[in-house]
Amino acid sequence: MCGIFFTLLKDSSYDLSKIDVELVKKRGPDFSNSLTVQTSTFVSYFFASVLSLRGSQEHQVTQQPFRCEKTGNILLWNGEIFASHLINVSKNENDGTKFFESLSYHSLFNLIESIKGPYAFLFYDKKSECIYFGRDKFGRRSLLINFNPSGSRVLTLSSVKSTSMDTLEYQELKANGVYKLDLQTLSLTLFPWSNQIELNLDYLSNLKSSLPVLNYFISDFNNDITDEFNENFIHDDLVDKFYLILKQSVLRRVQNIPNLCKKCSNNLGHLKFSPVNSNLCEHSKIAILFSGGVDSTVLAALVDECIPKNEPIDLLNIAFEKSGDKKDDFLVPDRISGLKSLSELNPERKWNFVEINIKLDELRKERDEIIKHLLYPHQTVLDDSIGCALWFASRGKGHVREKDEIIGYTSEAEILILGMGADEQLAGYARHRTRYEKDGMKALSEEIKMEMERISSRNLGRDDRILSDHGKESRLPFLDEDVVSFLNELKVVEKCNMKLDRGFGEKYLLRKLALKKFGLAFCSKLQKRAIQFGSRVAKMENIKEKASDICDRIAIDLKFSE
C-alpha cells in the first residue's frame, strides 16, 4: 500500500516546497521519494510513500516512484495484484515492480483489465506525452483530483488531501475507467469499462469519453425473480461453495506477508522479513475490525483457518463513552456482541481482543487536527461518525485483558481485514427488507444490483483515506472479484430470505455459513447494527441531526484555489 501524489505545473518557478504531502507520507511509513520532470511547457512533480507488504528478503522495501531509465516512463502505484492472467507475481516479488515491468510488453489497458485487486495509479508515458490514471472498478483505493486547465496547476492527483496548507478543491476521481491527459492539448479523455452504465462526464471540465475499451470480467448480475423465498434454495451445497470461494479470498489477503510486525521491523532497521528466524516476531501481523457481527466473525474464523496456528490475531473493538464516569461507560452494543462472538471462535488460537475506548475530548481533538482532512471531500454527519469510528479502531490503541489484569496494548499489525461489501451484496441493510415489503421481489433485486453499481462512488475511497492514515492497509475479502462474480450469479432467493424474521433473513447465506462451518450460533442470529450505533459514536455530541446533514465539525476552509 502506498500514498501517491502528482501535480502538473505550468510555472517552472513554482515553489515545490509549498506542496504539503504529510498525510500522503503517513500512508507509506517505510519509504518516500519524489521525482521532478521539466519540459519546455510543464513541470511534473511525482511523489510516493511506501508501505512495503510484498517483496523478498533481499529487497526489503520497493522504492517508488518507478522510473525506466531507458524510456523515461514513470509509474505511481498504490495497489495489490492478488491475481492476473498477464502479471505473474511470485511469493518473493513485488506486484508494483511486476506491473511496471509488464508495461514493456503489454498495453496499459490490457494489464488494468486483467487485475484482481484494489488499486489507484498514475502512469506517465514520455513518448506519447500522456498521463494515464484511474482506480479499480470498486474504488477500493482513494484518488482525489483537481483539474484546472487554465490554472497554474493544471492537474493534481492525491491519495488524500493534506492539511490546511493544501488549498486546492478536490473531488473524488470516479472509478469508471482509465483517464488520459494529453499534455500537448490538455484534453482529458475517459476510457470507460465496457459495462459502465453512467459516465457522469460533467464532473470534470472538458472531459470527453471514448468508446469502451476496458473489458469487465465479473459475472453479470442474475435478475431471475421467478422464485419466491424458500429455505430450500440456500442448501448445504451452496453454502459449501460460498465457503470455499470466500476462504480463497481471505487466503489471498493473508498469505505472502511480512513475518515481522511494524514494531519488530523498526527494531531491526526496517527489515520487513526476518532473514534468519521466521519465529523472531511473536506479535500479530493481521488485525480484524471486530464488532462481533456475522461479517467480522466469519472473517475472523476464516483468517484462523488460513494462517499458522502459532500466530496471534488482533480483534479491534471500538467503543465511545456513553456518559459520566461510570464503570460500564464503554459497554456499548458492539463491545457486548464482540465478547460473545469471541467466546465462539477457535479456543486454541491466541486472540487479542483489543478494547479501544475513546472519550469525547480525544474524539474532538483528533477529529479537528487530522480526521476531518482525511474525510474531505465527504462532509456529512454520517461521514463524521463512521470516519471517526474507523480511524480510532484502525489505530488499534487500547488494552487487552489477561486473566484479571488489564494491559495497555497497541496493535502493530499492518494488514486490516474488514467486512465491507457483505451488506451490499447479500441484502444486509434495513432498506433492502423495506424495499421488498413495499414493492416486492423485483424491487429488491434492482436494489441489490444498484448497490454494487454505485459502490465505487460511495464510501470506499473515504474509508481507505481513514484506515491508511496509520500506515496500515485495508483488505476487503467480500469485494474480491471472484466473490462478487459468485454472488452475482446467484438468484436473490439464494442470498437472503425475507420471509424469515428481521435480523435473520438478511444475509441468510452468510448466516448459514457461520453456523454450518464454524458453529457461530450467536452472530448468525445477530441483527445488523451499523458501526456508528454499535460503537455509540453517533451519540457522542448529543445533538439532534440527520445522517445526511452537512457536518460543521468536519468542515474544511478552502480560502482560495490555485
Sign of CA dihedral 331, 332, 336, 342: negative
Please name which of 529, 173, 511, 543 lies closest in space to residue 386, comparing C-alpha atoms: 529
The grid coordinates of residue 85 equal 492472467
Torsion angle (degrees, nearest 10) of CA 474, 475, 476, 481: 130
With 0-12 / 13-18 / 19 or more C-beta atoms within 10 angstroms meaning exposed / middle / buried, residue 343 is exposed
Extended strands (E) in 341-396: 351-358
Q: Measure the CA–CA gap between 419 and 297, rounded to whole angstroms.
A: 9
List, edge to edge, every strand of the sheet that includes 397-402. Answer: 405-410, 397-402, 351-358, 313-320, 286-289, 415-417, 473-475
Name 338's Cβ contacts closer than 8 Å, sequence gap at least 6: 290, 291, 292, 315, 317, 353
Containing 286, the helix (H) or strand (E) segment is strand 286-289
Q: Is 346 left (phi over 0), alpha (psi -120 to 50) or beta?
A: beta
Residue 68 · residue 280 · CB < 8 Å: no
Whether omega for the bond prior to residue 65 falls within 30 degrees of 0, making it cis, is yes
For the chain, what is the largest distance between any 2 Cα atoms, rounded to a whole number of angstroms? Answer: 70
Q: Catalytic amino acids?
A: 2
Please name which of 304, 318, 288 lies closest in space to residue 397, comparing C-alpha atoms: 318
Terminal alpha carbon distance of the chain = 29
Reduced to 3 states (helix: H, G, I; strand: E, B; else coil), residue 248 is helix
Which residues, listed in sequence order, are joined to residue 356 by a DSSP beta bridge?
318
Containing 340, the helix (H) or strand (E) segment is helix 333-342
Residue 422 · residue 295 · CB < 8 Å: yes
How far CA 297 is from CA of 203, 233, 249, 320, 496, in Å, comes to 39, 24, 15, 21, 18
